[in-house]
């Protein structure tokens, strides 16, 4: 088994219990952002997204948590150099997200690129004068207490949902496990 960790693990909220419809996870709004990354990569091979979810076989939404889903999450995170966390107003503190964050940060030490789909400008993330995070952003951290509590254990890069900024963040060696920067919160100046 290779220890080569070149994937980007996309973490996002999916309704629990999972939908029994044919759409399953695809019916969840935050899944759209993950699919957008895949579409950008599909239309531009230079887009620096290497999908960790493609590194193992797919599982059904109804799969057993302990026997199938949790081990698959761990396997995918083991092959990853970073986590891309989509954190939106629709995000909920699900079992899967807690596991992804806890294992990814605590066990694997993966840097996290936090994309805020509800916002498109750098100035939506931080107060430009004081260089502090806006309350609308810190309130989102409270939606995922495990992430909020671990946020300073690895470098976290907080960016709006803009393709050029996501491309830049994914290419930045400060947010890759083998070359990661100091553990703190980062953002683009506005």
What is the CATH number for 91?
A: 3.40.50.11200
Instruction: Return phi, psi of residue 129, to 5°.
Output: -75, -50
Is 135 within the bounds of a domain?
Answer: yes
Whole-Å CA distances, 176 to 69, 139, 182:
25, 26, 12
Is 2 within the bounds of a domain?
Answer: no
HSE at residue 77, side-chain half, CA atoms within 13 A, is 26
Structural domain range at position 170: 7-187
Contacts of 124 (CB under 8 A, 6+ apart): 116, 134, 136, 160
Q: How far apart are CA 72 and CA 135, in angstroms?
A: 35
Is 129 within the bounds of a domain?
Answer: yes
Tell me how many domains the chain contains.
1
Residue 20, pLDDT score? 42
Look at residues 65, 155, 56 and name the one whose alpha carbon lies nearest to residue 104: 155
- Give me the residues paired with residue 156 across strands: 112, 185
CB 188 within 8 A of CB 131: no
Is 51 within the bounds of a domain?
Answer: yes
pTM here? 0.89
Q: How far apart are CA 158 and CA 148, in angstroms?
A: 13
Whole-Å CA distances, 131 to 54, 121, 173, 189:
37, 14, 23, 8
Residue 174, pLDDT score? 97
Q: Kindly list the averaged pLDDT for each block of 10 residues, start to end, along the chain of length 190.
A: 76 66 57 91 95 64 70 92 96 93 97 97 96 97 96 97 96 96 95
Is 19 within the bounds of a domain?
Answer: yes
Q: How far apart are CA 28 and CA 17, in angstroms?
A: 12
DSSP 89-114: TT----HHHHHHHIIIIIIT---EEE
Contacts of 152 (CB under 8 A, 6+ apart): 183, 184, 185
Q: How far apart are CA 143 and CA 141, in angstroms?
A: 5
């Amino acid at each position: 088994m290779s220890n080569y960790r070149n994937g980007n693990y996309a973490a996002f909220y999916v309704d629990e219990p999972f939908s029994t419809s044919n759409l399953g996870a695809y019916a969840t709004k935050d899944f759209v952002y993950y699919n957008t990354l895949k579409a950008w990569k599909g239309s531009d091979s230079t887009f620096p997204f290497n999908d960790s979810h493609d590194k193992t076989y797919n599982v059904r939404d109804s799969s057993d948590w302990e026997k199938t889903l949790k081990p698959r999450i761990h396997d995918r995170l083991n092959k990853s150099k970073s986590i891309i966390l989509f954190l939106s107003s629709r995000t909920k503190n699900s079992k899967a997200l807690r596991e992804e964050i806890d294992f990814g940060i605590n066990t694997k030490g993966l840097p996290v690129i936090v994309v805020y789909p509800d916002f498109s400008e750098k100035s939506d993330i931080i107060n430009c004068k004081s260089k502090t995070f806006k309350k609308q952003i810190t309130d989102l951290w409270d939606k995922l207490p495990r992430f909020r509590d671990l946020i300073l254990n690895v470098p976290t890069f907080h960016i709006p949902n803009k393709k050029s900024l996501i491309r830049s963040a994914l290419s930045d060696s400060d947010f890759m496990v083998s070359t990661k920067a100091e553990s703190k919160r980062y953002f683009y100046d506005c």
